[in-house]
Structure 1
Amino acid sequence: MVRWSRITILFVAATLTALVIPGTATARYVVEPMTEEYTGEMHDFEEITFWDLPPRVMLLHCMLTVLPACFFPGELLYFLSILLPLGFRRVTRRTVLDDDFRLDLYRQITDRPGASTRELRELTGASRGRLRYHLDVLIREGKVAAVDYRNRARHFARNQRYTALEKRIIANLRDETPGAILAHLLRSPGATRNEIAERLGLAGPTVSWQMQQFEDEGIVTVDREERTFRYRLSTGAREFLNKHQDLPRPVGHRGTPWWFLPTQGREVPSE
């Protein structure tokens, strides 16, 4: 078997190239005299932006810019370590409450379970973007849970254990109208729609709509044996409200806190 040396291979390749492209070996240059006189005027160069470059040149430019960083990971880590003292650091579950604003926000949620985003904005005075960012951090690190209830986000601290029914009750307690209705049912079980509307100054359709929501959520039961429907708290809702009457609640109608009940401090007997 004949072995070809490198020099022989290069010689053969050059010969074949000259045969395939004869113009490269026989090309001639024609020199002609200049017909126009050189004026000597200077012309400004036209500026070309990066986006005017051909795609191949743009790709080459990006590669030359990015690739050097890939070959020097040590220098890149050193640069990032310089930024750490300037305030850039990774938030973990252990350090999530080191920020003063997040700590205050977490305490607000702990003291006011079921608080909405709007309520938290009023309590903290933060902008929407700043509040949304810190809420996302607390949720991501497992400190806060967000529950979607009637198209509104409700926030609970993870260390406070509530059932799904209890979370729905707490969410209603933080709103004026449903909270006032639940308070009335707690002290006046078996009330009719007209009695609730007259006592709280609400419209009849408003009470009917709220009662339908409560019934679907398992908070209220309806006695339909009589011609006039009578509403009562479910067993779970009544026990929870009797046990947690110290939960913060909104101000009710006519400026009176709705949890100021004649039965406050003692349980309403079940029927």
Structure 2
Amino acid sequence: MRPTPTLTMFEKLPVEIIDQILSYLVHPRCRLPGLSEAQSSHDIPEKTKRSIKDQEDLTRPPDRDRWATDIFSLHVVPHPFNALARTSKRCHEHVENYCSHLVRACNGTMFNLPFAQLDKYGFKCVHPDMSGIVYRRLWLQHAPRRCVYCYAVLDRYPFSQVSRVITACKGCFYRQALTIDEVSRQYHVSSDTILNSKHIRGNASALWVLRIDVEALALQLYRTRAFHEARKEQFGRPCSICAITRFNLRQIAKKRAPKRLLRN
């Protein structure tokens, strides 16, 4: 990557300021759609989040101004430390030095490396040999796994299962994904339309699709992102939003399927 004016300015900053910037990149955050970063936190009660979302203007486009909009592509998003380390030799040094600080800070609980002997006698007098340690890699392999949206701790080393540094919890996944069946029932859009659309992202098995993409399609079709939910006065009548589907009690029973209730 060629140096840019912004990158050059970053490299010339004092080390203390660079370290302060890097401290915000240890566990990168992305807010949930329609919420601020603070409101997305797992510490905020679900009732509070829901009341904020209920005030959302559904006639406006979905919230896409976020770096991790596609929850299905988190596995290909590089950690900021890796991305920054590849930009220049100077940035690589800054990242490695900061990760060395992180490893030292957590050495007693995670690594148990002989830093005291290293600082006193040097590399040649320490076993095992520590001269070849890539501290960035070491830290990212052992760092706690946090949800990038709500910041909840998902796992700690030694991990119970292999997971990437950039990952999400189940709750935040369900907030941002819909099944094909849910799309058909809630937005009255056929599964064929969803599966054949180039603008709706989903997982490889085509079971889940990205909610903001479905909302964008619904807004284009109906001028609103609202669910096509049935009320008692609508039974036996056309949907008040799309005027296509007629609601009946059988459809309502399907909406209340046990699978959906268990997931919530």
- Give the structure with higher Rg (CA): 1
TM-score, structure 2 normalization:
0.26
Structure scoring higher RCO (CA < 8 A, sep ≥ 6) equals 2
